[in-house]
Structure 1
Amino acid sequence: MSDAAKDISGLSFEEALKQLETIVRELEQGNVPLERSIEMYERGDALRKHCDTLLKSAEAKVEKIQLGQNGEARGTEPLESAEN
């Protein structure tokens, strides 16, 4: 695992998202040299994948803890049906 990947793997969702938003904002401004923009894009892609992994993990946990109105477990239910 590279140093950059290790650095990202320790980030919370909120920290990773904040870094990703910063990268997007800087790239959108267009004032970044080509080599640096490629590095930023690669890091942004790694951050996006990390956020996606964390979201999927959170979704799986939510599916496991769905409770009925009386506080008893109803079994698992996909997250999408809980939102509808």
Structure 2
Amino acid sequence: MTLLELSVEYRTNADALRERALLLEQRQRETWDEAQRVCLADRIKLLRTMWREARDLAVLCERYYERGYRRNVKYTL
């Protein structure tokens, strides 16, 4: 598997994570139970973090071999 093919997988997973977070945000707006709202907020926060990382890795894999591409410092040694 090449990095370009891997980037497609990361992008697909990032989209799924984003959709799930949006769905949970909608559920959070509709619920009145405060304990459930807090639980949903924690899950949304985790999904958003996972979404950002998957999106960043997709970009890194897509552009890895491009000359002059400034890589995200978070993912370099």
Report the AA paired with residue 61 of structure 1: C
Task: Select the structure with the greater relative contact order (CA < 8 A; seq sep ≥ 6).
Answer: 2
Q: Higher helix proportion, which one?
A: 2
Q: Which runs of 4+ in 1 moved over 2 A?
A: 76-79
Going from structure 1 to structure 2, the CA distance change for 1:77 and 1:50 (only over 3 Å counts) comes to same
- Could you list the runs of 5+ residues in structure 2 that have no partner in the other structure? 1-12, 72-77
Deviation at 1:16, TM superposition (A): 1.2
Q: How many residues align?
A: 60
TM value normalised by structure 1: 0.59
- Could you list the runs of 5+ residues in structure 1 that have no partner in the other structure? 1-11, 67-74, 80-84
2:34 match? 34
RMSD: 2.2
Deviation at 1:26, TM superposition (A): 1.7
Deviation at 1:76, TM superposition (A): 4.2
Q: Sequence identity, in percent?
A: 7
Going from structure 1 to structure 2, the CA distance change for 1:65 and 1:32 (only over 3 Å counts) comes to farther
